[in-house]
Structure formats: structure tokens, C-alpha cells
Amino acid sequence: MKPKPFDYVRVDTLPALFSALAAHDNAKIIAGGQSLVPMMNFRVAQPEVLVDINGVEALNHVGRDGDWLCIGAMARYQDLIDSPLVRESLPLLSEALGHVGYPAIRNRGTLGGSVVHNDPSAEGGVALCCLGAEVVVASAKGERVVPIAEFFVTTYLTDIAPHEVLTEIRIPVPLPRSGSAFRELAKRVGDFAIVNVAALVSVGAGDKVSAVSLALGGVAETPLSFDVGPAVIGHPLDAARAAEAARLVDALSDPQDDNVAGGEYKRHLAGVLVKQALLAAYIDAMAKGA
């Protein structure tokens, strides 16, 4: 059906945004709208005022800041996928975002919007958890920086207040001899993932794993990191170690049934994808040479 009537305000700057949010109760920011508008069309979301930030140029940037990559909240998925800077610095993010929806969704949808929306299997959220990102949340009174894992409270709920806006996502660039891999299964290319896995592996002397980071989507209320260090750190990563890591994840997760798949199926799928992703990330790291 169609959305309920609402008032509409377009803003081009952050100060204008804060004024608009202060002036209206039940105001909702619209960025790409690829998650919000479906909810409005089904009347699951009924904001009384929509504040459109698509014109806020200050939020649409991608740049390097020392050892960090800084992505503005309004950066569109497709622009990030096409960005040579992102592909070079954060290949895991490029790979993950390629799985988001379909071209039409990626042309409008934003990574910032996805992070605030917080779907349990959002590719962006899963990759950002794996990468140890942090987000910058701003209001008229100033800014605060929140680690991504703390920002994700529960399904569709994040640590952001109605008068605040996510302005930037900051991601530490992985160490030189690091490899990554993203694996996902969905019924149709571009559908919501049933389960997805992001893996980042660093390799040191003797081809031994020196650091590992793993995050999964679809097995909990939000994208979630899992510590598989005990299973793989200090050794080359072979099938047996990958299987041990998968067992660790299995012990720590409790996927629920939903309309797409049963909990047991998701558990099985997580095991398969964790092994695939870890091994692929290790091979990727090894290929980067000593």
C-alpha cells in the first residue's frame, strides 16, 4: 500500500539537519531509503516528518586518514564498490557490499543507512564488525565515537537518539600481510542472506596465523563477532583448524527459526561458510607474500 501522510524537509547541511530534528517530534532521517521506504509503504514505519539528507554533501566522502579509512554516512553502496581506494584498503568491504541487494538498491542505498537500520544479516554490518569499525554519531551538541559492536543494540535498534545522526564510519586498515574473504548464501542473488561470514586473517613468520577476526550475520539478533583466535592463532590455517574454529562459533551461537530458514539449517550453513571463509582468507593472506 502507500505510506501514511507526512511532512517533508530537505536539508543541505548538518546545522540545518539539527534544526529540523529539533523542530519536529517523530522526525525520521531518510538517506537512501532502501530499507525505510519499504517499511513506510507497509506502514510498519509511520514517521510524521521525513528529513531528507541526500543533499548533505558533507556526508558523502571516502578518504584515508592515516591508518583509517573514513566513509561518510551518505556514501552509496555502488560508489564504495567502485572506489579504487576502498578496493585497495578494504577489499573485504568491497566484496561484502557486492552482495547487497541488486544494482538499483546499491545505487541509492548507503552504508551509513544500513548501519543505523541494523538488519541481522546486513553485509555492511557483518564486514564492519569483522574489520573493527567505529561510527561517529553527531548532534547539535557535539560528537561521540562508538565501536560498531556497541552501536548494534538489537535487531533494527542501534545506539542513536532521535536528535542524532550518524556522520561517518571509520575503519582501521588491515595489517600488510592480511587476507580476507566474505561468504554468503541467499535464496536468490541479492536476497537477504540466510547466513553470511566475514573473515580477516593476518599471517606472520612460518605462515602461522598471527591475528584473526571473524563476524557472522543471520545467526543472532545483530551481526556478531566471534573469537576464534584460540583455534587458529599460532598455526598455519588448515582444514582441521578451520573446522575447530567452526566448532567454536557453533558453541557460541544460537540461530533461531524464521520465515526463511530453520535454526538448525542456519547452524549447519554457518559451519560450512566459516570454514570456507577462513581458508579463503588465509590463502589470500599467503598470496600477499612475506
The answer to whether residues 174 and 90 touch, using CB atoms and an 8 Å cutoff, is yes
State the CB neighbour count (10 A cutoff) for residue 34. 22
User: Is residue 104 a contact residue for other proteins (CB under 8 A)?
Assistant: yes
d(CA 92, CA 115): 16
In this structure, the dihedral spanned by the alpha carbons of residues 166, 172, 173 and 176, taken in order and rounded to 10 degrees, is: -170
d(CA 217, CA 126): 6
Residues in region 73-92 near other proteins by CB under 8 A: 78
What are the grid coordinates assigned to 62, written together?
571516502
User: Is residue 52 a contact residue for other proteins (CB under 8 A)?
Assistant: yes
Least distance between other proteins and beta carbon 53 (Å): 11
d(CA 287, CA 290): 9
User: Is residue 235 a contact residue for other proteins (CB under 8 A)?
Assistant: no
User: Is residue 27 a contact residue for other proteins (CB under 8 A)?
Assistant: no
Interface stretch with other proteins, choices 30-38, 66-74, 134-142, 171-179 (CB under 8 A): 30-38
Judged by DSSP in three states, 156 sits in coil
- Burial profile 140-151: b = 16 or more Cβ within 10 angstroms, e = fewer: eeeeeebebbeb
Residues in region 245-274 near other proteins by CB under 8 A: 256-260
DSSP H or E stretch at residue 124 = helix 123-131
Cα angle, residue 195 at apex, residues 191 and 196 outer, rounded to 5°: 90
Least distance between other proteins and beta carbon 35 (Å): 8
Dihedral class, residue 172 (left if φ above 0, else alpha if ψ from -120 to 50, else beta): beta
Least distance between other proteins and beta carbon 172 (Å): 27
Question: Cβ closer to other proteins: 132 or 263?
Answer: 263
User: Is residue 192 a contact residue for other proteins (CB under 8 A)?
Assistant: yes
| Single residue of 38, 63, 147, 234 touching other proteins by CB under 8 A | 38
| Single residue of 11, 27, 50, 73 touching other proteins by CB under 8 A | 50
Question: Cβ closer to other proteins: 193 or 281?
Answer: 193
What are the grid coordinates assigned to 42, written together?
507497509
Binding-site size, other proteins (CB under 8 A):
57
Residues in region 138-167 near other proteins by CB under 8 A: 153-158
The answer to whether residues 180 and 97 touch, using CB atoms and an 8 Å cutoff, is no
Question: Cβ closer to other proteins: 4 or 61?
Answer: 4
| Single residue of 84, 103, 206, 289 touching other proteins by CB under 8 A | 103
Judged by DSSP in three states, 134 sits in strand
| Single residue of 43, 61, 64, 163 touching other proteins by CB under 8 A | 43
Phi then psi dihedrals of residue 195, to 5 deg? -140, 140
Question: Cβ closer to other proteins: 243 or 260?
Answer: 260
User: Is residue 188 a contact residue for other proteins (CB under 8 A)?
Assistant: yes
| Single residue of 36, 71, 129, 215 touching other proteins by CB under 8 A | 36
Question: Cβ closer to other proteins: 77 or 282?
Answer: 77
DSSP H or E stretch at residue 63 = strand 62-65
Residues found near other proteins in the complex (CB under 8 A): 1-8, 10, 26, 28, 33-47, 50, 52, 54, 78, 101-105, 107-108, 117-120, 153-158, 188-190, 192, 221, 256-260
